[in-house]
């Protein structure tokens, strides 16, 4: 049986973003130079990478306490500053792999607070990055992730009249725009600092444009990666025939069997070779013909 001719159009950028690459490199370096290295949570939302680092000795911990020892790596998402300070106080060495773009979002929130604004963060309050930003502030900030949450905050007098807004770095601009537009009708003064990460935004714009001109869009990345899931949702919005897979094995033949033009994009914590394996499968895979019963 002849292999059906298919074309795969790759997004302009796939694989790790520079913040994730930097965090992985800093962790590898710490593991090569130090004895006892641990991290709170996963360094990246990708099992293959975390398995590799754990194989080199990285310990994954839920938290540290006064009996902890060794070197603690801070993930690209960052940590609340009190948590970093406490780690140093009890004698832990700290390798700070917080992404510089996340640090800039923390600084933007601090500046808004200093200038007398109620800090409003558009993002997921359970995300580590948002906890890090909240922990950089003196006062509690408001975190909203939908128009409904904004209305709830307004109805319970939690939204003030003079607000300074920042965004979770990996959030989609479309969603942030909707929330800010709604806020315009509720507040007297709004100052916005766009803290969305430029590599994220470029990937989203590029993937959306690609999704809208292919028959099938495939987004590769971990199911625990917020930016991957958000990228897939955005693509699905522009092309309902969008699938999310974590690797080539998860991609079903039926999904691409009758398709001629496929778009391929990835989350920011997806290794490039996983994306390449999906590309190769779409281009070359054909199932074995069924053998007739004798």
CB of 233 to ligand SF4, least distance (A): 17
Rounded distance between C-alpha atoms, residue 108 and residue 102, angstroms: 10
Count the residues of the shown chain that bind ligand SF4, applying the rule CB under 6 A.
14
Q: Identify which of residues 19 and 123 has a Cβ nearer to ligand SF4 in the complex.
A: 19
Show the tokens assigned to 63.
């938290």
Q: Is 20 in the site for ligand SF4 (CB under 6 A)?
A: yes
Strand intervals (E) in the chain: 7-10, 37-40, 59-61, 71-74, 93-96, 118-122, 142-144, 162-167, 189-192, 216-220, 242-245, 261-266
39-78 mask for ligand SF4 (x: CB under 6 A)? -------------------------------------x--
**Exactly one of 78, 123, 164, 199 binds ligand SF4 (CB under 6 A); which one?**
199
Question: Which of 113, 129, 178, 254 is flagged as catalytic?
Answer: 129
**Exactly one of 200, 211, 218, 234 binds ligand SF4 (CB under 6 A); which one?**
200
**Exactly one of 106, 169, 228, 247 binds ligand SF4 (CB under 6 A); which one?**
169
Task: Specify whether the CB–CB gap between 254 and 248 falls below 8 A.
Answer: no
Q: Is 197 in the site for ligand SF4 (CB under 6 A)?
A: yes
C-alpha dihedral, 202 to 206 to 208 to 211, nearest 10°: -160
Q: Is 193 in the site for ligand SF4 (CB under 6 A)?
A: no
Chain CA centroid to CA 65, Å: 28
257-286 mask for ligand SF4 (x: CB under 6 A)? -----------x------------------
Percentages helix, strand, coil for the chain (3-state, rounded to 5) are 45, 20, 40
Q: Is 102 in the site for ligand SF4 (CB under 6 A)?
A: yes
Q: Identify which of residues 17 and 39 has a Cβ nearer to ligand SF4 in the complex.
A: 17
- Residue 90's contacts (CB-CB under 8 Å, 6 or more residues apart) are 64, 66, 68
Q: Identify which of residues 15 and 263 has a Cβ nearer to ligand SF4 in the complex.
A: 15
Q: Is 170 in the site for ligand SF4 (CB under 6 A)?
A: yes
Q: Identify which of residues 199 and 271 has a Cβ nearer to ligand SF4 in the complex.
A: 199
Residues in region 82-101 near ligand SF4 by CB under 6 A: 99, 101
Task: Specify whether the CB–CB gap between 9 and 264 falls below 8 A.
Answer: yes
Among residues 225, 260, 258, which one has the least CA distance to residue 245? 225
Q: Which residue is nearest to ligand SF4 (CB)?
A: 19
DSSP output for 266-284: E-TTS-HHHHHHHHHHHHH
Among residues 156, 165, 163, which one has the least CA distance to residue 121? 165
Q: For this structure, is 129 an active site residue?
A: yes
DSSP state of 248: G
CB of 293 to ligand SF4, least distance (A): 53
Catalytic residues: 129
Footprint on this chain of ligand SF4 (rule: CB under 6 A): 17-20, 76, 99, 101-102, 169-170, 197, 199-200, 268
């Amino acid at each position: 049986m002849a292999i059906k001719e298919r074309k795969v159009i790759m997004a302009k950028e796939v694989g790790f973003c520079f913040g994730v690459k930097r965090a992985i490199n800093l962790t590898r370096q710490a593991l090569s130079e130090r004895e006892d290295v641990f991290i709170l949570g996963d360094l990246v939302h990708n099992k293959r990478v975390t398995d590799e680092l754990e194989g080199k000795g990285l310990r994954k911990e839920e938290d540290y306490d006064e009996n902890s020892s060794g070197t603690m790596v801070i993930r690209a998402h960052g940590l609340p500053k009190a948590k970093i300070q406490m780690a140093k106080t009890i004698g832990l060495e700290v390798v700070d792999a917080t992404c510089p773009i996340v640090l800039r979002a923390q600084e933007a929130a601090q500046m808004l607070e200093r200038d007398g604004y109620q800090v409003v963060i558009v993002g997921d309050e359970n995300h580590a990055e948002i906890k890090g930003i909240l922990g950089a502030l003196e006062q509690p900030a408001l975190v909203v992730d939908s128009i409904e949450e904004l209305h709830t905050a307004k109805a319970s007098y939690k939204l003030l009249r003079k607000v300074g807004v920042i965004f979770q770095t990996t959030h989609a601009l479309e969603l942030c725009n909707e929330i800010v537009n709604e806020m315009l009708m509720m507040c007297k003064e709004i100052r916005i600092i766009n803290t969305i990460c430029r590599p994220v935004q470029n990937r989203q714009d590029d993937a959306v444009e690609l999704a809208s001109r292919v028959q099938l869009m495939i987004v590769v990345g971990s199911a625990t990666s917020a930016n991957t899931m958000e990228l897939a949702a955005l693509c699905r919005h522009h092309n309902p025939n969008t699938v999310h897979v974590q690797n080539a094995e998860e991609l079903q033949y039926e999904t691409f069997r009758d398709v001629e033009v496929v778009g391929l994009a990835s989350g920011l914590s997806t290794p490039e070779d996983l994306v390449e394996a999906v590309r190769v499968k779409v281009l070359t895979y054909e199932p074995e013909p069924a053998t007739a019963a004798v």
